[in-house]
Amino acid sequence: MRLAILGAALLVVGAASILTGVLPVVEALAVGERVWPILLFAVAITIVAELAAEAGVFTAVAERLARIGLGRAWVLWLLVVLLAIGCTIFLSLDTTAVLLTPVVVLLARHNGLPPLPFALTTVWLANTGSLLLPVSNLTNLLALDALGFHDPARFAALMAAPAVVAIVVPCVAIAVIFRRDLGGRYVGSAIDQVPDRPLFVLSAVVVASLLPLLVSGMPVWLPSSAAAVVLVGAFLARRRRVLRFDLVPWQIILFASGLFLVVEAAHGVGLTTALAVVAGEGDDPLALLRLAVAGMVGANGIDNLPAYLALEPVTGSAPRLAALLVGVNAGSLITPWASLAVLLWHRGLVALGVEFRWSRYVVLGLVVAPVTVALATLALAATV
């Protein structure tokens, strides 16, 4: 609810900036035209992921991982890493942080393993693993629009090297930090039965069909909206009680809508000029690193989405835009508010009775985030 209140306040400020002429109506309409497909995708993919989770798709995948984990904790953890990477890349970071986290926590508990390494894996990879495809993060969809093309393959080619580094570094850190917890063994144990077999099969088919469509080059809101309509129709027929208003991420949409207007208005009164001094210019490794660090600091200071929106106008080239994405995505590991996914992840841990103090999270992030951003940016610089 606090996010909704903040979003409403931002919308009021945005409306005031339009009425006073700070943000011309034409520019406000241009912002709306740019962001409506992104927000529609966010709504649709959230509904798809929520309903697929209700149907037991993620739980079934996790249980299968436990069966093939050979009774070794580190093997199961590596399988969870692969699941988190795939979920983040194709279904967005919020799906991994919000929906996959309770699944892997229950997976660990049912197999007698400590849940923290699995939980931290999901939230770190939700952020650092969201570099490869446009659908992985709202910032990527904004960047794709700024790049001037809508080819996921071209985007992936640009981001491949930093994406790999941004995945590997946090995984190495978790393997070292939790080496004792991951060195044990377990005896596989079933988690839950599928509550409705037809819904489960349909949901699994819809998700499996959606993944290639999201990277086909068509506007991502089209297949995600179609998938959402199919699943809503199926649940309407078989499990209507699951369909509730909070399936729609309306608080996020309200917040993002107000944020887009306010940041655009701020650019009109000199924000771009001020940030150009901070972000520098040029495509050499040091210049890219400077911009990436600015993105990381901004993300951990005010959240990754406004940090991206504020710094996007001072990029000016594809390598600099990629460096900004490295900073705001892979660098969002330090403060609780660095990305909305982190806050939602921690709320989920509290609901599950998993204790993980923010102080420890911040300390670990202060070590891992700068190293991840630096190495990923250098990988980018070496390939562009």
191 — pLDDT class (breaks 50, 70, 90): low
35: which DSSP letter? H
Question: CB–CB of 376/165 below 8 Å?
Answer: yes
Among the ranges given (102-106, 112-116, 246-250), the one the predictor scored with the smallest mean pLDDT: 246-250
**Which carries the bigger pLDDT value, residue 244 or residue 351?**
244
Rounded Cα distance between 299 and 332, Å, is 6
Distances, alpha carbon 238 to alpha carbons 5, 46, 49, 51, 113, in Å: 35, 20, 18, 12, 35
Question: Two tokens at 122?
Answer: 């999901």
**Which carries the bigger pLDDT value, residue 188 or residue 66?**
66
- pLDDT computed for residue 1 by the predictor: 63
Domain residue limits, the chain? 2-383
What whole-number percentage of the chain has pLDDT above 70? 97
Torsion 189-191-192-197 (CA) sign: negative
Question: Two tokens at 33?
Answer: 């035209």
- pLDDT computed for residue 136 by the predictor: 92
- pLDDT computed for residue 127 by the predictor: 95
- pLDDT computed for residue 256 by the predictor: 79
- pLDDT for 193 beyond 80: no
Find the mean pLDDT for residues 344-350. 80
Q: Where are the alpha helices (DSSP H) in 148-196?
A: 152-177
- pLDDT computed for residue 317 by the predictor: 93
Find the mean pLDDT for residues 152-173. 96
- pLDDT computed for residue 190 by the predictor: 60
Q: pLDDT (tens digit, 9 = 90+) per residue, 368-381?
A: 999 999 999 999 99
Q: pLDDT (tens digit, 9 = 90+) per residue, 68-100?
A: 888 899 999 999 999 999 999 998 888 888 778
Q: pLDDT (tens digit, 9 = 90+) per residue, 31-51?
A: 888 888 888 888 888 899 889
What whole-number percentage of the chain has pLDDT above 90? 45
185: which DSSP letter? B
pTM: 0.86
Among the ranges given (118-132, 170-184, 302-316), the one the predictor scored with the smallest mean pLDDT: 302-316
Q: pLDDT (tens digit, 9 = 90+) per residue, 279-323?
A: 888 999 999 999 999 999 999 988 888 889 889 999 989 999 999
If one counts every other C-beta atom within 10 angstroms of the C-beta of residue 82, the result is 11
Find the mean pLDDT for residues 105-124. 90
- Nearest to residue 340, comparing CAs of 223, 254, 221? 254
- pLDDT computed for residue 373 by the predictor: 98
Q: pLDDT (tens digit, 9 = 90+) per residue, 198-248?
A: 999 999 999 999 888 888 878 888 999 999 999 999 999 999 998 988 788
- pLDDT computed for residue 293 by the predictor: 96
